[in-house]
Amino acid sequence: MYKPDVLWEITHKCNAKCIHCISDAGGDRHQELSTEEALDLCDQLAEFANRIHLLGGEVFLRSDWKKIVERIHSHGIPFSIVTNGLALKEETINFLKEMEIYNLGLSLDGGKAETHDHIRGVPGIYQRNLDLMEKLAEEEVSFSVISTFNKLNILEAKLLLGTMMNSPNQSWQVQIASAHGRMSRDISLDAFEYYVLGLFLSIAKMRIPDEVLTIVAGHDLGHYSGTIPNFSAQPDWDGCHAGKYTFGICSNGDIHGCLCMMSAEEFVLGNVRNKPLREYWEAVNFCPWNFGKIKALTGYCAECCYSTKCLAGCSDTAHALTGSIGENPLCYHRIEGEWMHRVPQDDQEWILRELTTGRVDERGNIYLGSGGLLTTSLISQLSLEPARQELLKLIACV
């Protein structure tokens, strides 16, 4: 039996008000697990879990979080924690070091202080997290930075990359915001922004050695592009991992194949209070919505040549944008396929077709479908909205 990675939301309580929060975190969730129940869950997970990733809300706001970490550590299970940084103090860092945390994920969602502070809803949190990065490196606590892209920060991708390069951080996890919970669909990335972000990140990964900065793409960035060099953590994408390689637990004990899907009641698989967790995981019908996902494919994803392998990519992205797990408009292969033979009606459509039919050389330069190099000079000649021009400059040669 495969040993899963388990994502565990130990509390819904949070001290930030992030614009993109999929769980709309703030106060306690109704009927959150007691200390006794949480510790029993640690003991159950010790029997079959590969790693445990503790999430919130904000993990450090749960009064007994140290007891949970101590119990996990006593079983020798590798664990990580994702934090917004606000409750991370020197004493906490020392404790995590003692507990041998293998990774602390620290959020940074803007290349400028005002952007990150606005997205997180807390003045001063940007500078605080930069200072925390220095402190974590000084204490030799392994950490990574997590950035979630949307329309509010996409133009700061290069600034964020610069921050990563000039900080002690050596791992940068990138993902896109999904329109659940507090996140509004009107600030979700559109296909143009999504595709340019993919080009930007793939070029960055080509140019920057992993030993300097490891860029890790989330499951929502991909897949099967003919133009964008693969930069995914799973280069041979074989479909959504929910219930196959991983599963999640909400703070009230609800079980999900993927915690990103927690906003919809239809994806709840059970509750830890009802029967032993291992029985859920080893059941032949665990996470039926994902194991039977091929039957849910519709539209382009149903007809795609990668349909039986890709299975509409990230289920959360698909569901957030279409209301279905079987149809995903944010897919590099799909965007390229749809624009390959389309007749452009304006400069924006022209440049998107040129990008999707172009290529990236070994130095990370982009050649358009018509053969020319993408340059800032060319971009300035196009009749585009200023934001689109700035977006394209992220990937252009000077």
Give the 3-state secondary structure of residue 270.
Answer: strand
Domain boundary residue, one of 301, 332, 363: 332
Q: Is residue 337 one of the residues assigned to a domain?
A: no
- Same domain membership, residue 198 and residue 99: yes
Q: Is residue 254 one of the residues assigned to a domain?
A: yes
Section 73-94 average pLDDT: 97
Sequential DSSP letters for 33-48:
PPHHHHHHHHHHHTTT
Q: Is residue 366 one of the residues assigned to a domain?
A: yes
- Same domain membership, residue 302 and residue 271: no
Q: Tokens 């409750």 belong to which residue?
A: 87
Count of structural domains within the chain: 3
- Same domain membership, residue 149 and residue 12: yes
- Same domain membership, residue 328 and residue 238: no
Q: What is the mean pLDDT of the chain?
A: 95
Q: Is residue 339 one of the residues assigned to a domain?
A: no
Please write the tens of the pLDDT for every residue from 228-266. 988 876 778 899 999 999 999 999 999 999 999 887 889
Dihedral angle over CA of 302, 304, 305, 306, nearest 10: -80
Q: Is the pLDDT of residue 376 over 90?
A: yes
- Same domain membership, residue 273 and residue 294: no
- Same domain membership, residue 300 and residue 265: no
Token duo for residue 315: 């289920």
Print the domain residue range for 85. Answer: 5-287
CA angle 136, 89, 20 (to 5 degrees): 85
Q: Is residue 130 one of the residues assigned to a domain?
A: yes
- Same domain membership, residue 356 and residue 323: no
Please write the tens of the pLDDT for every residue from 2-37. 899 999 999 999 999 999 998 889 888 889 999 999
235 burial type by CB count under 10 A (0-12 exposed, 13-18 middle, 19+ buried): exposed
Q: Is the pLDDT of residue 196 over 90?
A: yes
Contact indicator for 73, 79 with CB cutoff of 8 Å: yes
Please write the tens of the pLDDT for every residue from 306-354. 999 999 999 999 999 999 999 999 999 999 999 988 999 999 999 999 9
Q: Is the pLDDT of residue 187 over 80?
A: yes
Query: What are the φ and ψ backbone dihedral angles of 292, each rounded to 5 degrees?
Result: -105, 25
Q: Is residue 21 one of the residues assigned to a domain?
A: yes
CATH number at residue 110: 3.20.20.70
State the pLDDT confidence band at 169, using cuts at 50, 70 and 90. confident
State the pLDDT confidence band at 111, using cuts at 50, 70 and 90. very high
Closest by Cα among 366, 368, 374, 372 to 353: 368
- Same domain membership, residue 184 and residue 226: yes
- Same domain membership, residue 366 and residue 267: no
Cis omega (within 30 of 0) on the bond before 124? no
Section 360-365 average pLDDT: 95
- Same domain membership, residue 182 and residue 162: yes
Q: Is residue 338 one of the residues assigned to a domain?
A: no
Token duo for residue 166: 């000039």
Q: Is residue 179 one of the residues assigned to a domain?
A: yes
**Sequence letter at residue 45:** L
Residue 214 bridge partners (DSSP): 171
Quick one: pLDDT at residue 233?
A: 66
- Same domain membership, residue 293 and residue 280: no
- Same domain membership, residue 229 and residue 101: yes
